[in-house]
Amino acid sequence: MHIQHHPILGGQLHKPVTIYFNDQPYKAYEQQTVAAALMANDIKRLGLSRNLVQPRGLFCTRGRCCSCYMTVNGEDHVRTCMVKVEEGMKIYLNDEDPDVRREFCGD
Amino acid sequence: METDILIIGAGPAGLAAAFEMASKGLDVTIVDESITMGGQLNQQTQVIPSLPSSFQSMRGFELAAHLTKQLEEYDIRYLLGHRVIGFYKDGSVGITDEQDVFAVKAKKIIVATGAAENAVAFPKWTLPGVMTIGAAQTMINRDFVQPGKEAVIVGSSDFALDAALQLSEVGVHVKGFIEKNAGILSRDLEKIEQVKKMGIPIYLDSFIKEARGMGAVEEIEIEIGTRVLTEKVDLVCVDGGRSPILDIFYQLGCSFGYQKELGGWVPQYNHQFQTDRQDIFLAGNAAGISTQGVLLVTGMLAGINVCEAVGAITKTIADEEKDFLWKELEILETKYNPNIWEARNRHMENFAHPVIKEQFLS
């Protein structure tokens, strides 16, 4: 849920943008990060861990834990807690390794 | 690119250091991964207790704005949204804007990378909906997003209490604090009273036995002594304390010492906030986890020491300013927690006897 009236900071969400998660449109606001905007729309599972195949989501919001990796506008492994939303942004789950890793059998 | 001083980190310590140096005519460059200045102060809506005497009482985000504003009149180079990713052979710093990498040559570097929150592990702690208290606070105060409807807080530090109160204010139902120790960790009696008044239970000697949920946390089991309580929650905020962020010190080959009270492994430094690499200084939480007022003073001290080291001020002036600031640091840190002040002094005394040198630890 977006917080339209913050008890201390007041109303701060003024400029809405539309983002696309799995090709479906969702409402976000300009100053929000991608992971936060998805959480506001009740999307918490952002990817799957490779080894244990378990759901992963936002954890640290500081760009350190890398639990919020997603594919954003065609780029894999974007830390979505560090990137702000943009109009028309296309976001997909981080459910499998990108091609470059599959091809070269990285660790 | 060349600069007198490169500051890594635009949080309270980095900005306080920048002010000391820019106001003495040095050419300062600040790099930060984030696109906003002020670091973690930006999502602190609570009033910051015990600031240095030159500051009025204010809220965290107001302090961030104040520190940013006092730099306005100086010609400082800001590299926001940029990351330090390594060092060249000649000592230049490799900085990326996420597209290209370029070199910055600095006479002195102040590393003010701050702290990272530690995780608290329990079965299924990696489920979405489990996050650090700092993350929850960032969601509500920076991104204006309610991260859940029903929450528990694991921990009972000042910081955990702040997060719980702020979550409640935006409509999250906080169902309890889960504290593994036998007593509440916070020393802020006023905040403890506030939490109690709101009827939020504080479970002592307790821990999360397991979290459950399909794709996100839906339910947790709390073990309280011999009793097990099941709660429906969609948000679990964990407070595992904080540790200094050390990546850059590893890359620079600095030596480390362990001080539990300062957050674990901390780069070795002397009374000048200088590491065993003569050109590398440090400040803020990277020099030991403390309270915001102290972070500012360490930033000022590092800044003055660097000014003295490059000859921007005389030793007499530097000594006078440093004497005053060290007294202030002692007062602020002792008031917050005397054990941290003692650990800091122990750590500085150990400078001549580094524990770990050029070794990766994680």
Beta bridge partners of A79: A69
B33 CB neighbours in chain A (<8 A) are 63, 82
Q: What is the pLDDT of residues B71-97, one digit of tens each?
A: 999 999 999 999 999 999 999 999 999
User: Pick from A7, A45, A59: which is nearest to B135 by CB?
Assistant: A59
d(Cα B262, Cα B266) in Å, to the nearest integer? 7
B304 phi and psi, to 5 degrees?
Answer: -65, -40
How many residues are listed for chain B in this entry? 362
pLDDT of residue A107: 46
8 Å CB contact between B12 and B39: yes
Mean of pLDDT over chain B? 95
Q: Which helix (H) or strand (E) holds A37?
A: helix A34-40
Task: Considering only the beta carbons, identify the residue of B61, B145, B169 that sits closest to A7.
Answer: B169
User: Closest partner residue to A58 among B117, B135, B141, by Cβ?
Assistant: B135
| Closest chain A residue to the Cα of B240, Cα to Cα | A60
Report DSSP state, residue B35.
S
**pLDDT number for residue A98:** 76
Helices B12-22/B60-69 angle, 10° precision: 20
- Residue A104, C-beta contacts closer than 8 angstroms, at least 6 positions apart: none
- Return the pLDDT at B68: 97
Residues 6+ positions from B323 with CB-CB distance below 8 Å: none
pLDDT of residue B98: 87
- The answer to whether residues B112 and B13 touch, using CB atoms and an 8 Å cutoff, is yes
Q: Is the ipTM of this complex over 0.95?
A: no
List Cβ neighbours of B258 (8 Å cut-off, separation of 6 or more).
Answer: B264, B265, B266, B355
pLDDT digits (tens, 9 = 90+) for B214-229: 999 999 999 998 999 9
Interface contact A77, partner B, CB < 8 A: no
Is A64 close to B170, i.e. CB distance below 8 A? no
Q: What is the pLDDT of residue B89?
A: 92
- Chain segment B147-166, per-residue pLDDT in tens: 999 999 999 999 999 999 99
Q: What is the mean pLDDT of residues B62-79?
A: 97
CA distance B324 to chain A (A): 34
Buried b (16+ CB within 10 A) or exposed e, B66-100: bbbeebeeeebebbeebbbeebeeeebbebbeeee
Q: Which two tokens stand for residue B255?
A: 């030596």
Sign, Cα dihedral of B133, B134, B139, B142: positive
For residue A55, list chain B residues with Cβ-Cβ distance below 8 A: 127-128, 215-216
Long-range contact set of residues B272-275: C-beta below 8 Å, sequence gap at least 24? B272/B305, B272/B309, B273/B298, B273/B301, B273/B302, B273/B305, B274/B305, B274/B309, B275/B111, B275/B249
| pLDDT tens digit sequence for B291-326 | 999 999 999 999 999 999 999 999 999 999 999 999
A60 touches chain B (CB under 8 A): yes
Alpha carbons B126 and A49: distance in angstroms, whole number: 10
Per-residue pLDDT of chain A (107 residues), as tens digits, is 999 999 999 999 999 999 999 999 999 999 999 999 999 999 999 999 988 999 999 999 999 999 999 999 999 999 999 999 999 999 999 998 877 655 555 54
Interchain contact, A55 vs B128, CB within 8 Å: yes
For B20, the 3-state DSSP assignment is: helix
| C-alpha to C-alpha distance for A96 and B1, rounded to whole angstroms | 39
Q: Can you tell me the distance from the alpha carbon of B160 to that of B118, in angstroms, rounded to the nearest whole number? A: 13
Q: What is the pLDDT of residue B49?
A: 86
Q: Which residue has the tokens 């696109």?
A: B35
Confirm if B235 and B241 have CB atoms less than 8 A apart: no
pLDDT at B358: 56
Q: Which residues of B touch A57 (CB under 8 A)?
A: 127-129, 131, 216
Distance between B326 CA and the closest CA of chain A, angstroms: 31
Question: Among all residues of chain B, which has the CA nearest to that of A48?
Answer: B215
Shortest distance between the Cα of B318 and any Cα of chain A, in A, equals 35
User: For every residue of B274-303, which 3-state class applies, written as one string?
Assistant: ECCCCCEEECHHHHCCCCHHHHHHHHHHHH
**For residues B118-130, b (16+ Cβ closer than 10 Å) or e, as one string?**
ebbebebbbbbbb
What one-letter code names the amino acid at B330? E
pLDDT of residue B293: 96
